[in-house]
Structure formats: structure tokens, C-alpha cells
Amino acid sequence: MLKTQTSLSTWSQERNMKWLVLLGLVTFSECIVKIPLRRVKTMRKTLSGKNILNNFLKEHAYRLSQISSCGSNLTFHPLRNIKDRLYVGNITIGTPPQEFQVIFDTGSSDLWVTSVFCTSPTCSTHVMFRHFDSSTFRPTKKTFSINYGSGRMKGVVVHDTVRIGDLVSTDQPFGLSVVELGFDGIPFDGVMGLNYPKLSFSGAIPIFDNLRNQGAISEPVFAFYLSKDEQEGSVVMFGGVDHRYYKGELNWIPLIQAGDWSVHMDSISMKRKVIACSGGCKAVVDTGTSLIEGPRRLVNNIQKLIRAMPRGSEYYVSCSAVNTLPPIIFTIKGINYPVPAQAYILKDSRGHCYTTFKEDRLSPPSTETWILGDVFLRRYFSVFDRGNDRIGLARAV
């Protein structure tokens, strides 16, 4: 049930001005629900034939017995694969609902969208949340900031009703950005963090936890199937797993520790020779990262092995080499997960081929850490099991 609150439009002028001043003073401080993430023609266009797709998937739902045991509701939602760079899906916030395209990100824990108070040039290209149009909006005085690999933001924590398809989280805390830096040219309106609560920079309870606490999700599980560019059918599932999206059995990998989607990786190899992670290392499974990232020295070594040449910020190879370059194999808990050259080499807008290995600048140098982003996850269906603190991987169909 929606909680009815005082409409912001009826607030007194004095209270409205106090909140404006607050935003201006913000400074940086360092059961199964299935949502198809479908490529659409425009960022704002709703999927046509949506009801037909919903009915079909409801009739063909499947859930793993070791994860799910009760009845389920199914919700479906379009998402766009933007040139294999990122995946965004629409959510709504407020009463009446306002729609936003956000990145579903297992690498972070905060939900935020752009606010009407954001003055950064990037914000003018995003849909902005109009708090004064929502009758369920509730402000707070708490501020926060987040640094991402591609940019950073600062904002203020607020509360409102958030919907992911048919999933509804009432009085959900989330962030409204007032400054965004480094996100130029990225077509999104915000981020939906799906990591553990302890990684929240805003201190707000993540939406997955709130949905679970409110009884909207029967089991603490979600999963991703990410399609290739120009293909439809990307799916994120909440509350269970559909076996039609992967081949064989799921391989379960325990987290290094509860509280972060990180696992132990045995090695990275090519042509039966270990080329990185020689003594074992940390691997972060991150749907919000498009590439495969690691320590600079080891990434540079991989670029040399595949004969990639630097050009600006990218490393390029001859497009004809894609058919001869060997797969790079990520071994996790004794299981090999090969990523072929057709997956780790992509084409840019000019038709030139670049590698998808990149230096990770955020992880501490004391520990070898690799981020397995969308390049890896397009090959492997991934299950995030909060109930058992583990990740499941299987070959995607």
C-alpha cells in the first residue's frame, strides 16, 4: 500500500526555501520477479507488446528448488543495451510516477537520480526528478557523495515511492544529485545499486533490502542475463532463477566475505599459461562495469600478449586478429570460464577494434583485484544469492 504524505506543492514558502539552501550547501565528502532488460528504439519509449510478453513469461516461469519454494509474482521491464557499453532499465519514482533510466549496478549500493537542482552540464541531458510534483516525497537533511570509476556525484538523501515494474518500495530512501562530474555522454539518469547495505555511501537502506523487508520479494536472490548489442532479451530476475537463460548447471561460488559481491579467483590464463592472478586473487562481479578491469601492470601485459597498441585512452588490434586471438580463461573455484576474442574485442563507432581490458584505478594496490564486468557477464548468466552469500555462474544461452 502507498503511504499518503503531504504534497510538497502545499508546503509553505519558508520550508521550500530552507531545502533549496540545504541543497546549495552540499559539498563533497570523500515469489520471483523477472524484469526483461530489452533493447528499445529510444531511451524513453515503452516496450510495445509488453502485455503479450508478460503473459507468456508468467506461464513459463521456472524457479530453482534450492533457492525458491513458494509462489511468485512476475514483473517484466524493458532495458536497453547501449552499444555493449552499459545496460539501463526504467524505474519510476514519486506519485504520480516519474520515469528514469538507471544502471542496475551490483558494484554499488545506492539508488540515485538527477534532481532539478543539479547545475552540472551533464545533468541537462538527464531526466530530472521533480520533487514538487510528487505527493509522497519526503526530504531529509543528509548529504553524501560517491566516486565511481567513470565519474562522481554529490547529493542529498530523500524518500519517495519507487517502482521497478510491479515491485513497489514505499518511503524508499534514495539520492537526488546536485552535482555530477565525469558522466559526459553516458545516456542514463542515475544508478540503482544492488550491493550489500554496508557499502552504501548515503547510509540509506538499498532498495533490494527494502523490497525484501516489505515482503515484495519472497527469496533474497536476483540474477542477470545480459544480451549482446542489437539483441533483445536481457533479463534481471528478482526472487528466483529461470533455467532457460543458461546451459548446464549453476556453479556456486562463496563470497570472500558477506557484504560485497567479491569471490576468490584461482587464475587468469591464455594458451595454458597463467598471465595474471598467479597466486589467486579477488574478483568483483559487477554489472555496472562494462569492461574487465585489473592492475595496470597485469593489464598492460595482457595488451602486449594480444598485440594491442595504445591509441589515446584505448588499446587497438587489427579487426582480422579477432579470428586468431586465443580465449582468455578465468578460473574460479576450479571451473574455467573462457572469454573468446569475439567477446573481449569490440568495435568503436569508426569500425576500429579495441580491447576491453582496462586499468582499475579504484582498488587498493596491496591486493590484486579484477572486476568482471559486462564483457564477462554477457558470456555467463549470473545469480546473486544474498541468503547464502554466494554467486552462481553458468554459460549463458
Rounded CA-CA distance 109/208 in Å is 9
User: Which H helix or E strand runs over 238?
Assistant: strand 234-238
119, three cell numbers: 547545475
Eight-class DSSP state of 115: B
DSSP letter for each residue of 291-306: SEEE-HHHHHHHHHHT
Q: Is the peptide bond before 96 cis (omega within 30 degrees of 0)?
A: yes
Question: H helices within the chain, ranges in order?
Answer: 13-24, 50-59, 207-213, 296-305, 341-344, 374-377
Q: Which whole-number Å values give the CA distances from 300 to 308, 311, 321, 326, 337, in the listed order?
A: 9, 13, 18, 17, 21
Which three three-digit cell numbers place residue 381? 548468466
- Partner residues linked to 79 by β-bridges: 89
The dihedral through the CA atoms of 60, 65, 70, 75 has a sign that is: negative
DSSP secondary structure letter of residue 123: G
Q: Rounded distance, CA 285 to CA 335, Å?
A: 16
Q: Closest Cα to residue 188, out of 97, 91, 106?
A: 91
What is residue 186's DSSP assignment?
-
Which are the catalytic amino acids? 105, 286
Q: How far apart, in whole angstroms, are the C-alpha atoms of residue 204 and residue 142?
A: 10
Number of other CB atoms surrounding residue 58 within 10 Å: 14
Cα 129 to Cα 237: distance, rounded to the nearest angstrom: 26
CA–CA separation, 233 vs 244, rounded Å?
12
Cα–Cα distance, 300 to 392 (Å, whole number): 30
Q: By the 8 A CB rule, do 3 and 136 touch?
A: yes
